[in-house]
Structure 1
Amino acid sequence: MVCHFCGMENSAHNAACFNCGAELGTAVVPVGPAIAPDWEAKTGIFSIPSFFITIQEVLFSPSHTFRNLNRDSALFKAFLFGIIGSTIGGAFSTLWQGVLRTFNLGPDNAFIARYLGTWADLCVVVFIMPFCVAVALFALSGLLHLCLTITGGATQGFASTFKVLAYAQGATALLSVVPVCGVIAALFWWLYIMITGLKEAHRTSTMRALVAVVLPVALCCACATAAALTLVVSGVGLVKGLLAL
C-alpha cells in the first residue's frame, strides 16, 4: 500500500505509514500541479487585489493553499507578504492601544501628551517592525524546519517551511485590525494554519506537524522560565547579602 502523503510503499497490515506516520487507507487527496498562492502568481511585485485574495486563501482554505504551494526556492514574494501583513497588523495593534490610553480620564495636558505619544509609537512601529519581522521569519523558520526534521516530517526543503510561516504570519497579523479580541484570535488561528500548512506542504502527518510547531513554543517557555528563576534566585541572594551587612 502506497502512502498518499510521502509516496512510500507500506505493508498492507500497517495502520500508519512507517516513514511519515500518516494514516493509511484513507482517500487519496488529489494533488494537482504546484500552484503559487495568488500573491506569488502575479508577475508584479505588489498587487492590492492579489494581496487580499491571498489573505482569504490562507485564512479560510489553508489545506488547499499549502497542498498546492509553489515549492521553488524563491522566497521574496512570501517574505514581502509576511513583512507587509505583520507591519500593518502591528501598526493597528499599537493604534488601538494608544486610543485606549489616550481616552483615559485625565487633565487636558495629559490627554495631549498621550495623543502625541500614540503617534510617536506608531511611527516607531512602522519603521522598526519590518526589520524585526525579517529577522524573526528566518530565525523561526530555521527552528521550525529543524524541529520538523527531528520529527521526520521534513519531506520538502527550507523554502516550503519559510513560505508557510510567512503567509501564516502575514495573514493572521492582519486580524489585529479588530480591537482587543483580534490579537487573541490571531494567535489561535496562526497555530491552526501553521499545523495545517506544514502538514500539507511537507506531505506529512498532523502529529509530526503539531510537534514541530509546539517544540519551539515549549523551548521559548522553558527559556523564559529558566531566566525568571535565575532572576529570582539572584534577587534572593542579593537580599540575603544586604541583610547580612
Structure 2
Amino acid sequence: MTCPHCGKEIFDNQAFCQYCGGRTGSGSPLPTTETGGRKKTAWEDRDVHGFFGGILRTIQSTLFSPTEFFRTMTVTGGLTEPLLFSLIIGMVGLMISYVWQILLQGTIQNFLPPEMSSAAGYDMFHGLGIAVMAILSPVAIILWLFIWSGIVHLCLMLVRGARQGFEATFRAVAYSHSTYLFMALPFCGGIIAAIWSIVLIIIGLKEAHEISGGKASFAELFPIFLCCGVAIMGILFLGLMAASVGALMQQ
C-alpha cells in the first residue's frame, strides 16, 4: 500500500508512514471534529498529518485561507499546542534573520563612520548581541504572545466581543504568527510579517469569537494606535525638554 500523504510504498496495515509520519488510515483514529463544525488544526492533529505535514498545512491555511482556517479552528483544547506552534515558527524566522545579519555584517559596516566600523570591539559586541538575542528570543516570543493576547482580549471585552473566552483569542494570535516566517527575508521581512500578522489576527478574532469585523479590528488596532500615540507624545516631550534645557544653558 502507499502512504496517502507522501505517496511512498509502506507495509500493509501500517498505522503510520515511516517516511513522513502521517497516519495511513489503518486503525481507528480518534474523531477530531467538534460540534458546530470546529475541529483541530492540522498542527494539533499530528497523529493524522505527522509533524512536518501538520505544521506545513497549518502555515499554508493561515497564510492563504485564513477565513476558513479560523472559522473551523477549535477554540478549546488548551494553550500548549498553539504556543508551541508560535514558538517554532518564530524561532525559525528569527534564526534565519540572525544568519542574514551575520552575512550582511560587512555591508552594514560600509555605511558606518570609519571610527566606529574600525573600533576594536565592534565585531565582538555585534556578535555578542546576536548571541544574546538568540538565547532570549524564545522567552521574548512566549512573553509577547501572552501579553498581547491579554491586551487584545481586554479590548474585546470592552466592546463585548469576547464570546469564546481567552483561549480563543490566544489561539487566534498564536496561529497568526505564521507570518514570522517572513522575517527570514532580509531588509523588508519584518515589516511584511508585522502587517500580515495584524490582518490575520483581525480575521482570527472575527471568526474565532464569531463577532463583527469592526469589533475585531478595534481589539487589534486600538492598542497599536494607543502605543504609537504614547510613543510620539514621549518623543515630542523629550524634544521640548531638550530644547528648553538648551535655551537655558545659552542664557
Q: So what's the TM-score if we normalise by structure 1?
A: 0.76
Structure-2 residue corresponding to 1:230: 237
- Equivalences for residues 1-245 of structure 1 within 5 A: 32-42=36-46, 47-72=51-76, 74-103=78-107, 105=110, 119-169=127-177, 171-244=178-251
State the distance in 1 between where 2:216 and 2:147 align: 18
Query: What letter is aligned with 1:183?
Result: G
Worse-matched range after superposition: 181-190 or 155-164: 181-190
* 3-state SS of 1:40 partner: coil
Please give the alpha-carbon distance, in whole angstroms, between the structure 1 residues aligned to 2:158 and 2:242: 38
Distance in 1, matches of 2:121 and 2:52, equals: 35
Pick closer, same or farther for the CA change 1:121–1:102 going to 2, 3 Å: farther
CA distance in 1, matches of 2:132, 2:56: 25
Distance 2:142 2:250 in 1: 47
Residues 89/117 of structure 1: CA separation in 2 closer, same or farther (3 Å cut): farther
Residue 164 of structure 1 and its aligned partner are, at CA, apart by 0.7
What percent of counterpart residues are identical?
Answer: 31
Q: Please say if residues 94 and 121 of structure 1, whose CA atoms lie closer than 8 Å, have aligned partners that are also in contact.
A: no
Q: Distance in 1 between matches of 2:76 and 2:196?
A: 26
CA distance in 2, matches of 1:56, 1:118: 35
Distance 1:37 1:115, change over 3 A: farther
Query: Aligned pair in 2 of structure 1 residues 117, 47: CA closer, same or farther (>3 Å)?
Result: farther
How many residue pairs match? The answer is 210
Superposition deviation, residue 71 in structure 1: 1.3
Kept in 2, the 8 Å contact 1:91–1:122? The answer is no
C-alpha spacing 1:119/1:39, structure 2 compared with 1 (3 Å): farther
Shift of 1:208: 1.3
Could you say what the CA RMSD is over the residues aligned between the two structures, in angstroms?
Answer: 2.7
Name structure 1 gaps, 5 residues minimum: 1-30
What is the deviation of 1:59? Answer: 0.8
Deviation for aligned residue 1:142:
0.8
Offset at residue 34 of structure 1 (A)? 1.9
Structure 1 residue 203: Cα displacement: 0.4
Displacement of 1:180: 2.5
Q: Secondary structure at the match of 2:207?
A: helix
Deviations 1:162-217 (A, max 9, x none): 11111112x10111222233223222211221111111001011111111111011
**Residues 1:241 and 1:114: Cα distance change in structure 2 (over 3 Å):** closer
How far did 1:125 drift? 2.3
- Of 31-40 and 81-90, the range deviating more from structure 2: 31-40
Higher RCO structure, 1 or 2 (CA under 8 Å, sep 6+)? 1
**For residues 80 and 156 of structure 1, what CA distance do their matches in structure 2 show?**
21
Aligned equivalents of 1:100, 1:78: Cα separation in 2: 33
* Counterpart residue type for residue 101 of structure 1: Q
